[in-house]
Amino acid sequence: MSSLRRRKPINESSDSKHNEEEEDEDHDDVDADGDNDVNGKNKKTPSKIKKKRGEKPPKQPKWSCMDTCCWFIGCICIIWWLLLFLYNAMPASFPQYVTEAITGPLPDPPGVKLKKEGLEAKHPVVFVPGIVTGGLELWEGRECAEGLFRKRLWGGTFGEVYKRPLCWVEHMSLDNETGLDPCGIRVRPVSGLVAADYFAPGYFVWAVLIANLARIGYEDKTMYMAAYDWRLSFQNTEVRDQTLSRIKSNIELLVATNGGRKVVVIPHSMGVLYFLHFMKWVEAPAPMGGGGGPDWCSKHIKAVVNIGGPFLGVPKAIAGLFSAEAKDIAVARALAPGFLDNDIFQFQTLQHVMRMSRTWDSTMSMIPRGGNTIWGGLDWSPEEGNSCAKKREKKNETQIADQAGSENAVCKAKSANYGRIISFGKDAAEAPSSDIERIDFRGAIKGHSAANTTCRDVWTEYHDMGFAGIKAVAEYKTYTADSLVDLLHFVAPKMMARGTAHFSYGVADNLDDPQYKHYKYWSNPLETRLPNAPDMEIYSLYGVGLPTERAYVYKLSPHAECSIPFKIDTSADDEDTCLRDGVYSVDGDETVPVLSAGFMCAKGWRDVIRIAAGASGEELGGDQVYSKIFNWSEKINLRLDEEIPVHSSR
């Protein structure tokens, strides 16, 4: 017999039994949990499916930072395209409808109101834009400016600033020796009303005024934009572009084609100084002048309506030329130290701005005029007692007794030394003049200049001064309007050599002196007479009630070969003296102080020295003044031969 015996499958019954139990459990689960619906079909959900024993559930993928960024960018794009679609799909009147639903019906624009009152176009209008508000376009350039022929380099979208910044700076700069075009570059002003209607998309200059004048009948043949290259000195606009001759011809054409009606000229900002220069140029004999004769303005100009005119300059121009700064830029430098003048990424923004702006002769027309006589000295200024905390009253504050009383109340507050336009350190700005030890910088030896190894094309005149020259500037401690001109001659001799050839900053005692026939005096109202036009009206409109830069506290910046050695000390603050972020503020429109905009109408033109023929503004309603310019003017010792009310200041 065989010794092998077939074994009985012991586990066979148990395995089959186990499988049967699993099948029964599955059936039970379906019967218990999978209730039949009305159609008799079972509802099966993924959670009801049995997992195999010992099998782990699959892991969910982790959400990485890259996924989050992509999701965020996708959401932004979707929202952007959705908003863009809705903006293009909605009717043009929808924003106005929403505004009116919230605030109520909007008032009629001035042009509509005037039309309802029956007013119509009468005198032709001439606009004279100010600095940086007129568009400039390229007519010839370097290879880097390929494709930009007749495209705007200034005004509009400023797209080229971001695409090719160094190329843009090169084309916007002028020759540092002549103040004219560099070789191979021609940038010219845009012509027509579009030259200065908008500075950039959404930022209008003349557009609203043009639109309102159009509502009462004005059109292209009765309005003229006297566009000019605002970078050039005033006389050089005639030398290069014959701009002054074009303005003269267009004004004559406007008068001839409008029934002999004289023009109303509306200059703005630096355009006020430019038109002062024009009125003297057009009367002067050729070749220096336009040869129009002494009665040209009387025959062709009805009125000059000055808007925000810096007749006596602005301290803000000093900060721009000295350190390429203003208050806002100084604060930005404090928040991000080294970013604007960083050499690592070749930004060096302030150095490029300084190198470019110092080639613009027009910026020197804004240097304060009148010296210490107008702007004050070490221990006095016309605005003494000015209080930033005092709430300005919205009433007519002409030369009345009430104003004197309010002025005395304000004088009790701590007063700033506004005459010290630049001070090195807060202590120098506040200390009595007798306590300040000053070392004259004028005879200082500038010392060796560092080699131009890392500064590339942003080499400025500061690098020719050396350590000794920079130290000498700081050791003089404080600068008034008189010494500021000498300071700029010291730190920027090439710039000021051009500037003093085209502009003057003094006060004339005898305007019969033949020297004042030179064109460099024509834009300084303190050194020239008004035109011989007794019927011509002059208005002066300017902003008040806004803190406006008047004086600065400076410090030496940490020396770096490519840096600007001076910067505004933003840590200097004093609420009692209107000192904030290193800047002393007075009343004005945020750019032009009231003293500069209002003095000539308040006092400077009320004498027989600086006018050719007297005229009274009483028939125009007299003076409507909302500042303390009359009180401040009384503190200025300007020699007047005879007090005569000449022009109205509104």
pLDDT tens digits for range 547-598: 999 999 999 887 555 578 899 999 999 888 889 999 999 999 999 999 999 9
Q: Tell me: the pLDDT tens digits for 620-645?
A: 677 788 889 999 999 998 865 544 33
Positions of the chain with pLDDT lower than 70, given as ranges: 1-62, 92-96, 327-347, 389-414, 447-460, 559-562, 607-620, 639-650
**Overall CATH class of domain 123-307:** alpha beta
Closest C-alpha among 365, 383, 268, 266 to residue 313: 365
Say what the pLDDT of residue 44 is: 47
Beta pairing class for 579-580 and 583-588? antiparallel
As a dihedral over the C-alpha atoms of residue 490, residue 494, residue 500, residue 505, rounded to 10 degrees, the angle is -40
Secondary structure of residue 573 in the 3-state scheme: coil
Q: Report the half-sphere exposure of 50 (CA within 13 A, side-chain side).
A: 11
Closest C-alpha among 126, 425, 60, 107 to residue 300: 126
Tokens found for residue 262: 């004289």
Q: Report the half-sphere exposure of 309 (CA within 13 A, side-chain side).
A: 28
Cβ atoms < 10 Å from Cβ of 458: 23
Alpha helices in 206-286 (DSSP H): 207-215, 234-241, 243-256, 270-283
Secondary structure of residue 216 in the 3-state scheme: coil
Q: In angstroms, what is the C-alpha Rg of the chain? A: 36
Q: Find out whether 97 and 151 touch, Cβ atoms under 8 Å.
A: no
Cβ atoms < 10 Å from Cβ of 241: 16
Alpha helices in 448-513 (DSSP H): 466-475, 481-491, 493-502
Cβ atoms < 10 Å from Cβ of 482: 17
DSSP string of 602-633?
IIITSSSSS-SS----GGGT-----SSHHHHH
Dihedral angle sign, alpha carbons of residues 588, 579, 383, 388: positive
Tokens found for residue 396: 């007519």
Q: Domain residues of the chain, as ranges?
A: 123-307, 315-634
Dihedral angle sign, alpha carbons of residues 123, 290, 607, 535: negative
Q: What share of the chain is helix, strand, coil (3-state, %, to 5)?
A: 40, 10, 50
Closest C-alpha among 224, 373, 317, 330 to residue 554: 330
Closest C-alpha among 170, 497, 487 to residue 323: 487
Beta pairing class for 223-225 and 198-200? unpaired
Say what the pLDDT of residue 596 is: 97
φ/ψ of 548, rounded to 5, equals: -130, 135
Which residues are 548's β-sheet partners?
A: 586
Q: Find out whether 283 and 289 touch, Cβ atoms under 8 Å.
A: yes
Amino acid at position 4, single letter: L
